[in-house]
Structure 1
């Protein structure tokens, strides 16, 4: 496995991010975390919106400040992305959690998700979040394993209106 690190979104990595984005779109899978579904056609504007969200600027009603990072390797390939919400709303407490993360399809099952979550927990601690809520769908056994590998203690499940069961885990950082 390659050495990886978290990077703040930057226009410097436009080509690498667009490769990541296109691979995910071509896979036809749901884009997780949600921030990677942002249209990158105005790349500078997209990056600025991510940076603004970290400061709580121009957020839609009911949204909380959130920090986004890209998981990158030594070649500056974007391997994954994470969105760290600075606090929880009732909806996030039920089904969103503090941290949403995803690994590009071609790099899965290599241990990167576990590393991404571990690095994200360090960032959450820097933000002053001592108890982090991380969630996944009941059917996502890979994510459940990743959360448990990072010390996740299961809490009560949440069932969404459509019947989807969300597993909820707390991690002390």
Structure 2
């Protein structure tokens, strides 16, 4: 398995990946994947631009990766933010990741976060902020397995508690 940037060749695998999230009544994570619908080609271009710093207003440069197996099946995805703005300091942090429902518990999220942290370190970032909802026990374990030290939590307007962790790179 390896992390790869989205390509046109992964289109069918991507839609199959989204269908699994829908089948389990879950919102796909990271959020950058949520509104692709029938615009996959446009999103691949957008993701390429964003990784090069060509961004939309209010966004930061970021890189999206898919975790694929040898057959090209997408097992998970992650989005690495190159810097933080005010919003990302509260929720989101430097890395968001998600694993398809049928592939959880196999270490894929831990692997993706570890790889993203390696990339962030190469970019000169000395500590990374990673967040997860308080009720997401699996994600907490992933973050702590990668050296996360819990900081003050943030409470969203709807009452959702977001745990914040820092990882020294």
Q: TM-score, normalised by structure 2?
A: 0.95
Q: Secondary structure at the match of 1:19?
A: helix
Partner Cα distance (2:48, 2:122) in 1: 17
Please list, as runs of the form range in 1=range in 2, the aligned pairs for 1:44-63 lying within 5 A after superposition.
44-59=41-56, 61-63=57-59
Q: 1:137 — aligned with what?
A: 133
Checking the alignment, whether the CA contact within 8 Å between 1:98 and 1:132 is kept in structure 2 is: yes
Q: Give per-residue Cα distances to partners, 1:28-84, cap 9 Å, x unaligned.
A: 11221001213241321111111111122241x221111000011111110011111
Q: Is the 8 A contact 1:114 1:150 kept in 2?
A: yes
Equivalent residues in 2 for 1:23-102, closer than 5 Å = 23-59=20-56, 61-102=57-98
* Structure 1 unaligned regions, length at least 5: none
Residue 157 (structure 1) aligns with: 153
Q: Gaps spanning 5+ residues in structure 2: where?
A: none
Moved over 4 A (4+): none
Offset, 1:23 = 1.1
Distance 1:123 1:65 in 2: 14
Provide the rounded CA distance (Å) in 1 between the counterparts of 2:2 and 2:103.
15
Report the counterpart of residue 21 of structure 1 in structure 2: 18
Instruction: Give the whole-Å Cα distance in 1 for the aligned partners of 2:99 and 2:90.
Output: 23
Number of aligned positions between the proteins: 169
Superposed displacement of residue 154, structure 1: 0.7
Where 1:147 maps in the other structure, the secondary structure is helix
Say whether 1:122 aligns with 2:118: yes
